[in-house]
């Protein structure tokens, strides 16, 4: 499974890859070369990043569900103070 991104994100990523190669590696690459590199990274590395994100989301959701009672519990019959209830009123 390769990760797919929008055309807009792809164009921004290609520009970023080209800039990175130029500024950090001191090597200018063409748009085609940057696109091929992006495609490779999405196919080869993308699934690892995607799987890590899914694992993080699962942990987050599991923690939220485990604390559902604490987060959503409402005390019942809390209108009258305890002293009033004890007195039988």
Residue 55 lies inside a defined structural domain of this protein: yes
The pLDDT assigned to 63 comes to 87
Question: pTM of the prediction?
Answer: 0.70
Residue 67 lies inside a defined structural domain of this protein: yes
Task: For 47-70, write each residue's pLDDT tens digit.
Answer: 999 999 999 999 999 988 888 877
Residue 60 lies inside a defined structural domain of this protein: yes
Residue 2 lies inside a defined structural domain of this protein: no
Residues of the chain with pLDDT under 50: none
How would you write 9-49 as a 3-class SS string? Answer: HHHHHHHHHHHHHHHHCCCCCCHHHHHHHHHHHHHHCHHHH
Question: Which range of residues forms the domain containing residue 81?
Answer: 7-86
Residue 35 lies inside a defined structural domain of this protein: yes
Looking at the 3D structure of the chain, how many domains does it have?
1
Residue 34: count of CB within 10 angstroms of its CB: 19
Residue 1 lies inside a defined structural domain of this protein: no
Residue 28 lies inside a defined structural domain of this protein: yes
Q: Are 3 and 46 in contact (CB under 8 A)?
A: yes
- In whole angstroms, give the CA distance from residue 71 to residue 55: 22
């Amino acid at each position: 499974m390769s990760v797919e991104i929008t055309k807009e994100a792809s164009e921004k990523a290609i520009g970023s890859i080209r800039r990175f190669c130029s500024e950090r590696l001191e090597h200018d690459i063409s748009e085609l070369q940057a696109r091929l590199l992006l495609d490779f990274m999405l196919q080869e590395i993308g699934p690892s990043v995607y799987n890590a994100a899914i694992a993080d989301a699962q942990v987050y959701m599991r923690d939220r569900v485990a604390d559902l009672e604490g987060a959503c519990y409402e005390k019942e019959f809390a209108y009258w103070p305890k002293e009033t209830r004890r007195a039988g009123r």
